[in-house]
C-alpha cells in the first residue's frame, strides 16, 4: 500500500506513521495546525458542557427552575399563546385582544364565596388572654432568615423586585432586614396591607388541547416577593399557635 509522508492514500481515514506522530508531538504549540487546535477547543467545550449539565441534574431538587430552563432551551417547539378564537368564531391574533379574552375567562371562572351565612363555630380555645395571638412583633432576624432562604431566580411581582436582589441585599447588609421588619410591623399594627402588595401579574399557562381555546389556559399569579415573606412569617406563627393549643383536630385535612 502506498504512503506519502505518513498518509494512507487508499484508506478512508488519515493515518500517521509513528515517526510522524513523534515529530508532531515534539513541535512547539504555536506550530500546531489550526484543525488540531479547533479539535482541542471543541473537546474542552464538550467537557465543560458535560460538567455543567451534570451539576444542573445534581441540583434539580434544590434548583429545579434551572433544569427546566435548560430543558426548554433544547426544545424545538416553543410554547406560545394563541391565536385565539372568540365566541363569534373569529380568529384573534392581537396581543391586547387576546389578553382581554383571557382576563374575561379567568374572571368568569373565579369563585366568590358567600360569607353572609357562615356556620357557628364552637370555641375550643381554653387558654387565657395572655395565650391569645393578639400581638406579634416581627424581628429583623426573622426577616433575614426568610430572605436568605428564598429561591434564586424567582419571577418578580408587580414591584419588579426579584429574589436575587433580595438575597444579595440580605447577605451584604442588615439594614434591608430592619427596614422590611418595620414595614411588616406597621402593617400588623394598622391592620392594612399596602395596595401594591395586593397586585399580581397574571400569566396564562397552556394546559392541553387546542391553543385557540381560552378554556385550555390556566392563570398563574406572580405576587410580590416581600409579601410572600410576610405571609410565610405569619403562617409559621399561626401554625405554632394552633399546634401549641391543640386547635387543629385530627379530622381536619388540607392546607
Q: 32-86, pLDDT tens digit by residue?
A: 566 677 777 777 777 777 777 777 777 777 777 777 777 766 665 556 787 899 9
Is residue 250 a part of any domain in this protein?
no
| Cβ-Cβ contacts under 8 Å for 249 (sequence gap 6 or more) | none
Is residue 220 a part of any domain in this protein?
yes
- The domain boundary, picked from 46, 73, 100, lies at 73
pLDDT at 216: 93
Handedness of CA 63, 68, 73, 79 (dihedral sign): negative
- Domain range for 17 is 3-73
Residues 235, 185 share a domain: yes
Residues 89, 59 share a domain: no
Q: Rounded to an integer, what distance in angstroms lies between the CA atom of residue 217 and that of residue 168? A: 35
Is residue 14 a part of any domain in this protein?
yes
Is residue 252 a part of any domain in this protein?
no
CB 208 within 8 A of CB 216: yes
Residues 89, 68 share a domain: no
Q: Rounded to an integer, what distance in angstroms lies between the CA atom of residue 223 and that of residue 156? A: 7
| Cβ-Cβ contacts under 8 Å for 56 (sequence gap 6 or more) | 63, 66, 67, 70
Residue 204's closest CA among 185, 191, 217, 223? 217
The distance in angstroms from the start CA to the end CA of the chain is 79
- The domain boundary, picked from 28, 45, 73, lies at 73
Is residue 65 a part of any domain in this protein?
yes
Q: Rounded to an integer, what distance in angstroms lies between the CA atom of residue 20 and that of residue 5? A: 8
CB 145 within 8 A of CB 253: no
Is residue 23 a part of any domain in this protein?
yes
| Cβ-Cβ contacts under 8 Å for 21 (sequence gap 6 or more) | none
Residues 219, 107 share a domain: yes
Q: Rounded to an integer, what distance in angstroms lies between the CA atom of residue 14 and that of residue 24? A: 14
Is residue 150 a part of any domain in this protein?
yes
pLDDT at 148: 93
Number of domains in the chain: 2
Is residue 56 a part of any domain in this protein?
yes
Residues 152, 28 share a domain: no
Stated pTM of the model: 0.63
Beta bridge pairs of residue 204: 219
Residues 191, 97 share a domain: yes
Residues 102, 47 share a domain: no
Give me the residues of the chain with pLDDT under 50, please: 1-16, 23-25, 31
Residues 53, 7 share a domain: yes
Neighbours of 82 (CB within 10 A): 22
pLDDT at 231: 95
Backbone angles phi, psi at 166, to 5 degrees: -65, -40
Average of per-residue pLDDT values in the chain: 80
- The domain boundary, picked from 24, 42, 73, lies at 73
Residues 110, 24 share a domain: no
pLDDT at 3: 44
Amino acid at each position: 500500500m502506498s504512503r506519502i509522508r505518513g498518509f494512507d492514500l487508499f484508506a478512508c481515514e488519515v493515518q500517521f506513521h509513528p515517526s510522524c506522530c513523534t515529530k508532531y508531538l515534539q513541535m512547539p504549540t504555536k506550530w500546531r495546525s489550526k484543525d488540531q487546535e479547533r479539535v482541542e477547543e471543541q473537546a474542552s467545550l464538550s467537557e465543560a458542557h458535560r460538567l455543567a449539565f451534570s451539576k444542573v441534574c445534581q441540583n434539580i431538587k434544590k434548583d429545579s427552575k434551572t433544569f427546566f430552563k435548560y430543558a426548554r432551551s433544547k426544545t424545538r417547539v416553543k410554547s406560545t399563546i394563541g391565536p385565539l378564537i372568540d365566541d363569534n368564531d373569529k380568529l384573534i391574533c392581537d396581543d391586547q385582544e387576546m389578553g382581554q379574552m383571557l382576563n374575561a375567562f379567568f374572571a368568569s371562572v373565579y369563585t366568590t364565596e358567600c360569607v353572609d351565612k357562615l356556620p357557628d363555630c364552637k370555641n375550643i380555645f381554653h387558654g387565657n388572654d395572655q395565650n391569645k395571638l393578639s400581638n406579634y412583633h416581627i424581628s429583623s432576624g426573622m426577616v433575614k432568615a426568610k430572605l436568605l432562604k428564598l429561591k434564586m431566580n424567582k419571577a418578580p411581582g408587580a414591584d419588579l423586585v426579584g429574589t436575587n436582589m433580595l438575597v444579595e441585599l440580605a447577605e451584604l447588609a442588615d439594614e434591608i432586614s430592619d427596614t422590611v421588619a418595620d414595614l411588616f410591623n406597621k402593617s400588623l399594627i394598622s391592620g392594612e396591607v399596602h395596595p401594591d402588595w395586593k397586585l399580581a401579574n397574571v400569566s396564562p399557562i397552556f394546559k392541553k388541547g387546542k391553543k385557540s381555546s381560552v378554556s385550555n389556559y390556566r392563570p398563574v399569579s406572580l405576587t410580590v416577593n416581600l409579601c410572600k415573606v410576610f405571609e410565610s412569617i405569619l403562617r409559621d406563627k399561626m401554625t405554632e399557635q394552633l399546634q401549641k393549643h391543640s386547635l387543629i383536630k385530627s379530622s381536619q385535612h388540607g392546607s
